[in-house]
Chains A and B, each alone.
Chain A
Amino acid sequence: MGSVLAASSPNPPPPATGGTAASGLTVPPGFGMPSVSPVISPTGAALGQQETENPLPNPGAFDECHRKCKEVFPMQMEGVRLVVNKGLSNHFQVNHNVMLSTMGDSTYRFGATYVGSKQTGPAELFPVMVGDMDNSGSLNAQIIHQITKRIRSKVAFQTQQNKFVNWQGDAEFRGEDFTATVTLGNPDVLVGSGIVVTHYLQSITPALALGGELVYHHRPGEEGTVMSFVGRYTGNNYIATLTLGSAGAHASYYHKANDQLQVGVELEASSRMQDTSVSFGYQLDMPKANLLFKGSIDSNWVVGATLEKKLLPLPLSLVLCTFLNHSKNKFQCGFGATIG
């Protein structure tokens, strides 16, 4: 049986969240792992439930559970943003980001992406090294590598000017029908502190995946654990996910109405901050007009929308974004241009 990743799925895999350059690079977004084609299994009716004939599909990464719903929502942006992407070769890509902000500081950010030559799947090349540096010296760096066929590892560093804020390493093992991940975050041998996060996600049926997350943090003098459970049900054109834990609950529902319209509803409840919020978002995709429109409305009385348009003869893309917070009477608008 071939690799489960190569199994054809009735829905086409979504584009990599960071955008795919024409040369075939997967450019991961800020800090997520490069998105892997989600295996949306065909409806169970046609397939038998026996594991020997049709093994259960790999459920994907743990972090990706709520990802499809979150991608429908518009991203808040303010001020003026200019992004220039330049592909220097098949393996190397560079980007310049100038953000002029109406509140707060304006920044210039330089980022570079290197993609290696070990190919594990269509448009997936490893190792991937992504880094970017701010004009104030803040660095974000990530290295992702596929160590063996089933094990993928990631190391990430983040600094705020010259102080390290985040340093973590993780290893992900993809079995036949399960995914297990161990992450070691901010380990500090001198102080004796660290965070260990383990994720486990198992396919129970071709549509249902269950899993859990265990977070153990240790500081000199205190230690504690937080545990949460995840369930994800994938239907024909919808995905429903629920995360329940001692820190709160997070439920999301993603629905693909047709080729143009996708809808997402999200509920977040936090026991620490003692509040809940419900958001409704939709994405309207018109490839013929080169237009992508995302809108959202929130239970905090925040209404927002983003319009993205590719100005086609030029390799230029224009983004307009406005957010209005009715309860605080605050309005934010911004626009940006992406070249390349």
Chain B
Amino acid sequence: MGSVLALSSGPGHQNWPFSTDPPPSRWNSHPAHWDSPPRWERRDGRLPNPGSFHSLHRSCKDVFPQQIEGVKMILNKTLSSFFKVSHMLHLSAVSPSYYRFHVEHLQSDDDSKDKDAPALIGEMDSSGSLNAHALLHVTERVRARTVFQTQQSQFVTWQFETEFRGNDFTAAVTVANPDVLRESVILVAHFLQSVSSGLVLGGELVYHRGRSEEGGILTLAGQYSRPNWVATLNAGKGGAHASYYHRANKQIQVGVEFEASTRTQETTTSFGYQMELPEANMVFRGMINSRCIIGGVLEKRLTPLPATLMMGAFVNHRGDKLQVGLGVTVG
């Protein structure tokens, strides 16, 4: 049995697993190659591995356009088969402009060859903020990940995660921000089990402890997937998060998301769609929100050049604010 990562990508993700796009800037998500194939892939009649807990809502979230503001110029350079470098310059009208340098040391696509080579990803800002990930395949089934994030000179996140991928289940334990001096720690345990060919059930237990308080939150998760759609639900004491992803045809994908939080006492419903026109080298993502936010981002590959142009605008009707963004990615 080969590694699940070697499976070919399903109809759900065109640019998975080894996308040439720049990695997502959402720092609580794993890099693209860490995820498992879409849930509806089946081999040998056995239940597939459900993947990691963080990527349960990923297919729906990928449909939504990313907030874009100001001018962003990204230059990607592949120095060798495992070393990639990227320079990003962001000129912004509302926040300070910055330059970011990103470097990746990854082994090549075929995982089964060099399983013990770590993947190292680091990013440094012009203000000194650092973001570093290290992924290590300890054995074929066990993976370890370390994340460090600083805001200028102060450490904001330091976490250590271990994940075990069984035949049809995934279990992960994360230790986040362990602080001996302040006696605080956050422990997160995830468990996902493939119950049937389309159904995955699991849960997340978060235990946080500080000097004066401690508490635990249990969230249950379920995901049902069919070849054309995926429905996911997370529900617990901290709130609920439901998402529905539907692939209408080869060009149009649609996502609906509902989030409710008991801490902030608010709910948000979002509707997003993605339209791909590969003949025109164009991808358009649009979204509308219950917070009266409407946004759209157009991405076009300028084919003779290895460049991609991104144009987007977000309007918040309630606050009457408009945000416009342009981006050019070279390489």
Q: Taking beta carbons and an 8 Å cutoff, which residues of A are in contact with B?
A: 78-80, 100-102, 106, 320, 322, 324, 330-335
Contact = CB atoms under 8 A, between A and B. Distances in A.
| 9 nearest CB pairs, A to B | A102-B322, A331-B93, A331-B91, A80-B313, A100-B322, A333-B71, A322-B71, A333-B326, A80-B324
Contacts of A331: 70-71, 91-93, 97
A322 B71 CA distance: 8
A334 B324 contact: yes
B85 interface: no
A79 B71 contact: no
B66 interface: no
B323 interface: yes
Nearest to B92: A331
A332 B325 CA distance: 10
B73 to A, nearest CB: 11
A100 B93 contact: no
Given A80-B313, A100-B315, A332 B326 contact: no
B311 interface: yes
Nearest to A102: B322
Contact of A79 (B92, B97, B322): B322
B324 A335 contact: yes
Q: Is the interface of A mostly helix, strand, loop or mixed?
A: strand
Contacts of B91: 322, 324, 331, 333
A102 B323 contact: yes
Contacts of A102: 93, 321-324
A106 B322 contact: yes
B288 to A, nearest CB: 16
Interface residues of B, number: 15
Contacts of B323: 102
B324 A320 contact: no
A322 B322 CA distance: 16
A333 B324 contact: yes
A80 B323 CA distance: 9
Interface in B284-331: 311, 313, 315, 321-326
Nearest to A105: B320
14 contacts: A80-B313, A80-B322, A100-B322, A102-B321, A106-B322, A322-B91, A330-B93, A331-B71, A331-B93, A333-B91, A333-B324, A333-B326, A334-B324, A335-B324
A116 B97 CA distance: 52
Contact of A322 (B311, B313, B321, B326): B326
Contacts of A333: 70-71, 91, 93, 324-326
A64 B29 CA distance: 59
B326 A335 contact: yes
Interface string B88-113: 00011100010000000000000000
A79 B324 contact: yes
B36 to A, nearest CB: 39
B136 to A, nearest CB: 41
A106 B71 CA distance: 21
A101 B322 CA distance: 7
Contacts of A322: 71, 91, 326
Contacts of B313: 80, 100
B67 to A, nearest CB: 14
Nearest to B315: A100
A335 B70 contact: no
A106 B323 CA distance: 12
Nearest to A318: B311
A102 B93 CA distance: 10
A24 to B, nearest CB: 33
